[in-house]
Amino acid sequence: MNTLVWKVDKYVDNLENNPHVVDAANLLRENEVVALPTETVYGLGGNAENDEAVAKIFAAKGRPVDNPLIIHIADKEQLSRFVDEVPLVAKKLMDAFWPGPLTIIFKRKAGVLSELATAGLETVAVRMPDHPVALALLKKCGLPIAAPSANSSGKPSPTNAGHVIDDLNGKIAGVLDGGATGVGVESTVVDCTEPVPVILRPGGVTKEELEAVVGEVRVDAALTNEGAKPKAPGMKYRHYAPNAPLFMVSGTTAFLQSLIEEKQREGLRVGVLTTEENVGAYHADLVLVCGKRAALETVATALYETLRQFNKGNVDIIYSEIFPNTGVGYAIMNRLQKAAGNKLITE
Ligand code: TXA
Ligand code: MG
């Protein structure tokens, strides 16, 4: 299959009638799959009400079929097609954070969405992305769109159209190239089927921001205790991994530099993931700056691009600094832990 790349300027008006958006919307209606930019990462969209379309998403990504997809909508009214009851706490969260990087889990109405998209669960994950191209496409096609991140399963999520092409060229109908995404980590997934909302995946909206709107918010036990079974099926998989083994390092820059030198003495090529503040402290084969420690949202924005760059740098081992577990740092650390398979070296 020839994968088309459609460049679309997200700042122009009337995107719904942009010829590339119209082409992509038509392909979605014909149950083809197309990649689209969102404010978090690129998604691979398909008609959520059609098994054939959803099967194409799983096939292109090589995604395990027990891992359900997030359904994307452009309009709150679309919810009533496949959700009967919107709990008050969910209403408050939707008013505060939609459109935006928050996915809400609802009880699902039977018989509307593809069972493949929801992996047979009685619940459904829904979000309204905050990106003009995504919203225009969703409005134009008028369908609820199932869209996981548009990477090959296991790879870092794509934060620009080039990443999508690197992973999925020839496997999907096209990609709407709306430039680099902003947030950089995926949406926060919150289960609102229980009286107190539970974070199943940390992401672009922080726990602190959620609490400011609805009061108490819990965190799925699997996020703090490796032995517990995650409620979001996708959270059990290793993810975001660069080709070389990645180790998180807790300690001083001098300690990290000593680890680098030890491996270099063994003849290995060593990569380091650091920040603007600390870049001067390291001498390694590939030192990559991932944002600014003083502004963690810049680290989130750059994280996946940085992890992907290590693959082009031909390194044998990667050491990464760690980040505080607060604000968006919580999502950054969750992704780094997955990329590292939880390997942590402490001074
Ligand atoms: O920012 C995002 O959320 C991006 C963009 C494209 O919207 N999408 C994304 O989708 O990250 P994906 O498929 O890579 O991750 C979806 C996560 C998985 O961990 C999945 O298991 C979980 O959401 N999930 C989906 N439906 C669920 C459900 N009914 N109950 C619990 N977890 C669910
Ligand atoms: Mg993903």
pLDDT of residue 236: 85
Ligand 1: which atom is nearest the Cα of residue 125? 26
CATH number where 124 lies: 3.90.870.10
Tokens of 321: 């600094």
Q: Is beta strand 123-127 parallel, antiparallel or unpaired with respect to 102-107? A: antiparallel
Q: What is the 3-state secondary structure (H, E, C) of the chain?
A: CCCEEEECCCCCCCHHHCHHHHHHHHHHHCCCCEEECCCCCCEEEEECCCHHHHHHHHHHHCCCCCCCCEEECCCHHHHHHCCCCCCHHHHHHHHHHCCCCEEEEEECCCCCCCCCCCCCCCEEEEECCCCHHHHHHHHHHCCCEECCECCCCCCCCCCCHHHHHHHHCCCCCEEEECCCCCCCCCCEEEECCCCCCEEEECCCCCHHHHHHHHCCCEECHHHCCCCCCCCCHHHHCCCCCCCCCEEEEECCHHHHHHHHHHHHHCCCCEEEEECCCCHHHCCCCEEEECCECCEHHHHHHHHHHHHHHHHHCCCCEEEEECCCCCCCHHHHHHHHHHHCCCCEEEC
Ligand 1: which atom is nearest the Cα of residue 127? 7
Tokens of 145: 């769109």
Tokens of 43: 């998604």
| Number of structural domains found in the chain | 2
Whether residues 266 and 152 fall in one domain: no
pLDDT averaged over 10-residue windows placed end to end, the chain, 347 residues: 96 96 98 98 98 98 96 97 97 98 98 97 98 98 98 96 98 98 98 97 98 98 88 86 95 98 98 98 98 98 97 95 97 96 96
Ligand 1: which atom is nearest the Cα of residue 43? 6
Which residue's alpha carbon is at the smallest distance from atom 30 of ligand 1?
232
Q: Is residue 235 domain-resident? A: no
Query: What are the residues facing 72 on neighbouring strands?
Result: 127, 145
Q: Is residue 186 domain-resident? A: yes
Whether residues 156 and 113 fall in one domain: yes
pLDDT of residue 227: 82
Q: How far apart are CA 279 and CA 203, in angstroms?
A: 26
Whether residues 261 and 218 fall in one domain: no
Unique residue bearing structure tokens 């530099």: 257
Whether residues 121 and 173 fall in one domain: yes
Q: How far apart are CA 276 and CA 281, in angstroms?
A: 10
CATH number where 275 lies: 3.40.50.11030
Whether residues 79 and 209 fall in one domain: yes
Max intra-chain CA distance, the chain: 63
Ligand 1: which atom is nearest the Cα of residue 185? 1
Ligand 1: which atom is nearest the Cα of residue 235? 19
Cα 69 to middle of ligand 1, angstroms: 5
Q: How far apart are CA 79 and CA 72, in angstroms?
A: 10
How far is residue 264 from each of residues 28, 223, 243, 258, 316, measured CA to CA in Å?
50, 34, 18, 10, 10
Whether residues 250 and 321 fall in one domain: yes
Q: Is beta strand 270-274 parallel, antiparallel or unpaired with respect to 43-47? A: unpaired
Whether residues 220 and 269 fall in one domain: no
Q: How far apart are CA 158 and CA 230, in angstroms?
A: 24
Q: How far apart are CA 308 and CA 318, in angstroms?
A: 12
Which residue's alpha carbon is at the smallest distance from atom 20 of ligand 1?
234
Ligand 1: which atom is nearest the Cα of residue 204? 1
Whether residues 273 and 210 fall in one domain: no
Q: Is residue 220 domain-resident? A: yes
Q: Is residue 100 domain-resident? A: yes
Q: Is residue 166 domain-resident? A: yes
Q: Is residue 277 domain-resident? A: yes
Q: Is residue 330 domain-resident? A: yes
Whether residues 318 and 215 fall in one domain: no
Which residue's alpha carbon is at the smallest distance from atom 22 of ligand 1?
232
To test the pocket of ligand 1, the residue of 41, 103, 185 to mutate (highest count of ligand atoms within 8 Å of its CB) is 103
Cα 262 to middle of ligand 1, angstroms: 40
pLDDT of residue 54: 98
Of the listed ligands, the closest to the CA of 45 is 1
Range of the domain at 251: 246-346
pLDDT of residue 235: 87
Of the listed ligands, the closest to the CA of 192 is 1
Whether residues 164 and 255 fall in one domain: no
Protein residues whose CB sits closer than 6 Å to any atom of ligand 1: 38, 40-41, 43, 67-70, 101, 103, 105, 118, 121, 123-125, 127, 129, 147-149, 186-187, 189, 200-201, 231-235
Whether residues 181 and 103 fall in one domain: yes
Which residue's alpha carbon is at the smallest distance from atom 15 of ligand 1?
148
Whether residues 170 and 203 fall in one domain: yes
Of the listed ligands, the closest to the CA of 64 is 1
